[in-house]
């Protein structure tokens, strides 16, 4: 674990040191920034996996169940990993198998399950990312979604390294890797498949692994109960679409965070999407800013010295008593557990986003809270 946590940090520190010299040309600077961003995402994934396993061990992992279009989830995951597959020259294909059994490549099968959309996406991403990771250059990865009676079956098949027969029974165990030596080719904590198994079982499904042996590729199959057929809902109209080119054009935002680096980055990021951003570094500063001018959306950190974000939102809601409208508010915080989300929403926030936040996701949430499509 120490090795996997420190490796991304080493790359980030090295490139930041080179950036500080100011001697890098434009191409190398771009490469440095891409490397730092890639390692930030890797570090975030490691932390998320560790936290998920901790919740699993404590029995505190919670899911939010709803109807989920599994084909839409798979499409999003496939497209997000397609660049990684193309970099390795891996053929990444999707397909369905209709009732007759004949596979038709490049199409999607309709079908919904009752589950947590974020956790189902995590399951699909872990399986597909593993397939790409362990498939050598020039290989192939295939994703299928099949209907089998009352179940939907997701299959991820690769032509990669395969799984030795003696390791196959242990493939879903925590911290288990086929090669755990210091000379191993592939990194990782050995948590991804353990998390997949637990998430699938929590949603009433099963997951299995098959392989003919080393060098023979592998197949992972997730089986989930299909959701009961639902009555179609009326389609939404496109009325009220904003004509502005920028998604947050003219939107007034108040960002509250005691970390000035975060405030500055958020201000620049949101300003580029057209927003007008004011910042505050504490609860008293935020309340004073709200007295001067009411923003369209409040974005607040939770963990701050003195008074925290919960105190801020409670005071905001108290001051709104008697008003017909309430200020939309987002908790943007490193407190990312499901119980933290529940506490934030109960305190008065409309949305809860864990740090580090994806820029597109943040923009979409802010636009939605402001009533824009």
Q: Which three-class secondary structure state does DSSP give residue 55?
A: helix
User: Which segments within the chain are labelled E, that is strand?
Assistant: 66-69, 91-97, 104-105, 112-115, 140-148, 151-158, 206-210, 218-225, 252-256, 276-280, 297-300, 329-333, 351-354
pLDDT digits 0-9 by tens, 306-360: 899 999 999 999 998 888 888 999 999 888 888 888 999 999 999 999 888 878 8
Question: What integer pLDDT is reported at residue 143 of this predicted model?
Answer: 93
Question: What integer pLDDT is reported at residue 288 of this predicted model?
Answer: 93
The yes-or-no verdict on residue 220 having pLDDT over 90 is yes
pLDDT digits 0-9 by tens, 151-184: 999 999 999 888 889 888 888 887 665 444 333 3
Which residues have C-beta within 8 Å of that of residue 66, sequence separation ≥ 6?
A: 114, 115, 116, 117
Do residues 257 and 263 lie in contact, with contact meaning Cβ atoms separated by under 8 Å? Answer: yes
Token digits for 8? 């991304």
Do residues 161 and 211 lie in contact, with contact meaning Cβ atoms separated by under 8 Å? Answer: no
pLDDT digits 0-9 by tens, 227-286: 876 544 444 433 444 444 678 888 999 999 998 888 888 888 888 888 999 999 999 999
Count of residues in the chain? 373
The yes-or-no verdict on residue 372 having pLDDT over 70 is no
User: Which of 110, 107, 96, 104 lies closest to 146, judged by CA?
Assistant: 96
Phi, psi of 159 (to 5 degrees): -105, 30
Mean residue pLDDT of the chain comes to: 82
pLDDT digits 0-9 by tens, 62-104: 777 888 898 888 888 888 888 889 988 999 988 644 433 333 3
Question: What integer pLDDT is reported at residue 244 of this predicted model?
Answer: 47
Consecutive H or E run containing 9: helix 2-21
Token digits for 196? 């997949």
Cα separation of the two ends of the chain: 42
Question: What integer pLDDT is reported at residue 8 of this predicted model?
Answer: 75
d(CA 237, CA 33): 41
The more confident residue out of 153 and 190 is 153
d(CA 34, CA 29): 9
Could you give the domains of the chain? Answer: 2-58 (1.10.287), 66-225 (3.30.565.10), 252-369 (3.40.50.2300)
Question: What integer pLDDT is reported at residue 228 of this predicted model?
Answer: 75
The yes-or-no verdict on residue 119 having pLDDT over 80 is yes
pLDDT digits 0-9 by tens, 33-65: 988 888 888 788 778 777 877 777 777 777 778
Question: What integer pLDDT is reported at residue 141 of this predicted model?
Answer: 94
């Amino acid at each position: 674990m120490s090795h996997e946590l420190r490796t991304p940090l080493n790359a980030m520190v090295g490139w930041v040191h080179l950036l500080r010299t100011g001697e890098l040309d434009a191409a190398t600077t771009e490469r440095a920034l891409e490397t730092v961003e890639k390692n930030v995402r890797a570090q975030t994934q490691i932390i998320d996996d560790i936290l998920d396993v901790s919740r699993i061990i404590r029995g505190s992992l919670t899911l939010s169940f709803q109807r989920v279009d599994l084909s839409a989830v798979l499409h999003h995951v496939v497209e997000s990993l397609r660049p990684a597959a193309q970099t390795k020259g891996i053929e990444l294909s999707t397909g369905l198998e209709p009732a007759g059994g004949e596979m038709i490549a490049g199409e999607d099968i309709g079908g919904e399950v009752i589950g947590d959309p974020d956790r189902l996406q995590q399951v699909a991403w872990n399986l597909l990312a593993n397939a790409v990771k362990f498939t050598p250059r020039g290989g192939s990865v295939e994703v299928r979604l099949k209907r089998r009676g009352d179940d939907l079956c997701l299959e991820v098949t690769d032509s990669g390294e395969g799984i030795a027969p003696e390791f196959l029974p242990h493939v879903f165990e925590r911290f288990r890797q086929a090669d755990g030596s210091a000379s191993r080719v592939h990194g990782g904590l050995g948590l991804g498949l353990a998390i997949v198994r637990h998430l699938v079982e929590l949603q009433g499904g099963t997951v299995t692994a098959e392989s003919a042996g080393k060098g023979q590729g592998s197949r992972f199959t997730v089986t989930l109960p299909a959701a009961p057929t639902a009555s179609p809902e009326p389609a939404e109209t496109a009325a009220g679409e904003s004509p502005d080119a920028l998604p947050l054009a003219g939107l007034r935002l108040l960002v509250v965070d005691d970390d000035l680096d975060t405030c500055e980055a958020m201000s620049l990021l949101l300003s580029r999407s057209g927003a007008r951003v004011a910042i505050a570094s504490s609860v008293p500063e935020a309340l004073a800013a709200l007295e001067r001018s009411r923003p369209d959306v409040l974005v607040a950190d939770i963990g701050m010295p003195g008074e925290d974000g919960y105190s801020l939102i409670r005071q905001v809601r108290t001051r709104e008593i008697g008003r017909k409208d309430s200020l939309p508010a987002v908790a943007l915080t490193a407190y990312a557990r499901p119980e933290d989300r529940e506490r934030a929403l109960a305190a008065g926030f409309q949305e809860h986003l864990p740090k580090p936040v994806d820029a597109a996701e943040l923009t979409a949430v802010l636009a939605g809270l402001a009533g824009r499509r």
